[in-house]
Structure 1
């Protein structure tokens, strides 16, 4: 009889230990589920709109919360590669971020393009006469250099576009005539707005998609040496293990795709009315499209 009660007590104790372990495991999983998904972004208008749109879609259609982390592009790649960030939605490939991609690609997972046909280049107002300035090579003319104040207005110095622009200056022999002025993208757009108001000449580092192309008639200078790269695709990149931890969100991001015209229109809306309003407008106007992204997530 004593042996029977000893066995019974051992069985109860073992069951309690297993139940406790199971509860601890469930609690750990609940903690992981409750942790916000951290998405890095840089203050480029296309990246900001797509990142904020993704946050809204994820939070509206899953139980996950999203926290946005503002960081330079290099820090984003390092953050996702190290696992400190869960995702970034602005990998410009194959040329613009080639240096970062080569360094970190073994520790990143590419979920595919969010939009295609992105273009980098040097941009001028369309009122600048084409017979005077239509190609980067035309910038070598001393009169044109003087008209432009020997300046090319750039964006943040860590951007791939700025690295390629330095390469373009050397490729076209312009590095002694021009200063590539580093600033953030907002300073670039303000400089362009000031030039447009005065009908002045200016060259800025630009890209599509961008709301400036929805607001003003602009054009890219031709780049016969292809120093600034060919058309790009802009991809969603996540850390290793993200698909396993968040399969539904990963599937939604893989399905997410926008055309350049609709993205540029939405970005211009954000400039006029703010991001919350523009994002709601987009989701209302593209309800079927958003529903497809969500449905893809539900299948995982």
Structure 2
């Protein structure tokens, strides 16, 4: 299977089509006998990826009686894993630009099941308290006084992520020299929060949907050269042949569709309580849609 990935396997017994709506997150004791899951889904610690992957997992397990394995892995490992068949699916393929490098490399071994949500975007973000007169555009990062205020650092996420590649391209395009600090999505948000609490300047890689836009007053730096692209869509992709092996699961993933606002609301709710409760409440409030996703209708 995949190297350098933490296996997070949740085995929940199927509760039937109607039970997922009444008791979405009731745990069933794990089976002692290990077996190949019906679907192995890759995810990473991006807030939107986590909540969407866990929502899909709960519905597949408890509504469709499918054995699901979640694998936490770097984005590059996920693309390689799905392409090689070590993973069946990933629900976080940013298209057309953010993950272009991976899509160019692996698209002949992937099946794109279409967008889960559209209108996503990304770029470099700063607290709204940073004066626009001093820092309004990515081009302003090249100014000596701005660089000093930011200690010559951009808080980033995992090195192989699309937004980090774009940040490196932006440095070349706009002529600034900063240390691009790697980390996780939660680490990036934590550093933003700490700087805001201290009324300090910070610039970080950012994307929507993300709960930080609900929690903090932030703004994207303008990008006149278009390095960070425009609106993106986030797709479900699976291994070639998966549709034939698991047509019901593939059909569910094709019908799974959320708005940006719904994803951000789920993320905010999960932070206030936990993912389990947030997903439980969302399913209870959206029974007709969940039924349709599971229905097999085209």
Q: With structure 2 as the length reference, what TM-score do the two structures score?
A: 0.86
Q: Which residue of 1 aligns with 2:151?
A: 149
- The worse-fitting range, judged by mean Cα deviation, of 283-292 and 199-208 is 283-292
Q: Which residue of 2 aligns with 1:212?
A: 212
2:151 partner SS: coil
Q: Which residue of 2 aligns with 1:91?
A: 93
Q: How far, CA to CA, are the matches of 1:98 and 1:148 in structure 2? A: 30
Q: Which residue of 1 aligns with 2:141?
A: 139
1:129 partner SS: coil
Q: Which residue of 1 aligns with 2:230?
A: 230
Q: Which residue of 1 aligns with 2:283?
A: 283
Is the 1:151–1:179 contact (alpha carbons within 8 Å) kept by the matching residues of 2?
yes
2:140 corresponds to 1:123: no
For residues 108-161 of structure 1, the C-alpha deviation after alignment (integer angstroms, 9 at most, x for no partner) is 000000001111100011111222211101112211111111111100111111
Q: How far, CA to CA, are the matches of 1:173 and 1:78 in structure 2? A: 33
Is the 2:38–2:246 contact (alpha carbons within 8 Å) kept by the matching residues of 1?
no
Q: Which residue of 1 aligns with 2:255?
A: 255
Is the 2:37–2:69 contact (alpha carbons within 8 Å) kept by the matching residues of 1?
no
2:160 partner SS: coil
Q: How far, CA to CA, are the matches of 2:79 and 2:217 in structure 1? A: 34
Stretches of structure 2 that go unaligned for 5 or more consecutive residues are: 1-32
2:41 partner SS: strand
For residues 213-257 of structure 1, the C-alpha deviation after alignment (integer angstroms, 9 at most, x for no partner) is 111111111100111122111100001111111111111110111
1:110 partner SS: strand
1:118 partner SS: strand
Q: Which residue of 2 aligns with 1:56?
A: 58
Is the 1:132–1:138 contact (alpha carbons within 8 Å) kept by the matching residues of 2?
yes
When the two structures are aligned, how many residues end up with a matched partner?
A: 265
Is the 1:91–1:237 contact (alpha carbons within 8 Å) kept by the matching residues of 2?
yes
* RMSD of aligned Cα (Å): 1.5
1:96 partner SS: coil
How far off is 1:34 after superposition?
Answer: 6.7
Which has the larger helix fraction?
1
How far off is 1:287 after superposition?
Answer: 2.3
Q: Which residue of 1 aligns with 2:190?
A: 190
Q: Which residue of 2 aligns with 1:243?
A: 243
Q: How far, CA to CA, are the matches of 2:291 and 2:136 in structure 1? A: 43
For residues 166-194 of structure 1, the C-alpha deviation after alignment (integer angstroms, 9 at most, x for no partner) is 0001100002xx11111111111110110
For residues 255-274 of structure 1, the C-alpha deviation after alignment (integer angstroms, 9 at most, x for no partner) is 11111111111111112211
Stretches of structure 1 that go unaligned for 5 or more consecutive residues are: 1-30
Q: 1:69 aligns with which of 56, 65, 71?
A: 71
The structure whose Rg is larger is 1
1:257 partner SS: coil
- The worse-fitting range, judged by mean Cα deviation, of 180-189 and 109-118 is 180-189
